[in-house]
Amino acid sequence: MDLSDYKMYELDYKDDWDKYFKKMNKEMQLKIWKKIEQLKELESARHLKLGLPFFVVETNQYRITFRQIGNTRTIWFAGNHKQYEKWYLNLIK
């Protein structure tokens, strides 16, 4: 791979992105944090359903959602599957 093909994304964080994250145990926070850090280099992610402008990555039963504008990925949510469902259902209300 040519270095010119290598893409790094900047990460930003929505103000309340960690609403559920900060309630997790330290071990799970570390796993999720590592996955968030991987978003700097991750080429693609699954698009959120319902036509919303978000992408989702998974780690075990946890979900991380982000929006991408240009070279910046903004983390909006990190939590378990039930919290994720509640989060995205609130988006479509």
pLDDT at 9 over 60: yes
DSSP-derived pairing of the beta strands 10-13 and 46-47: unpaired
Residue 2 lies in a domain: no
Q: 91 Cβ partners below 8 Å, 6+ apart?
A: 52
- pLDDT at residue 17 above 50? yes
Question: Tell me, what's the pLDDT at 71?
Answer: 92
The CATH number that applies at residue 51 is: 3.30.2310.20
Count of structural domains within the chain: 1
Q: What DSSP element (H or E) covers 69?
A: strand 62-69
Q: What is the pTM of this model?
A: 0.87
Q: Does residue 52 or residue 64 have the better pLDDT?
A: 64
Return the pLDDT at 67.
95
- Segment 34-62 shows an average pLDDT of 89
What per-residue confidence (pLDDT) applies to 6? 58
Tell me which residue range forms the domain holding 79. Answer: 8-91
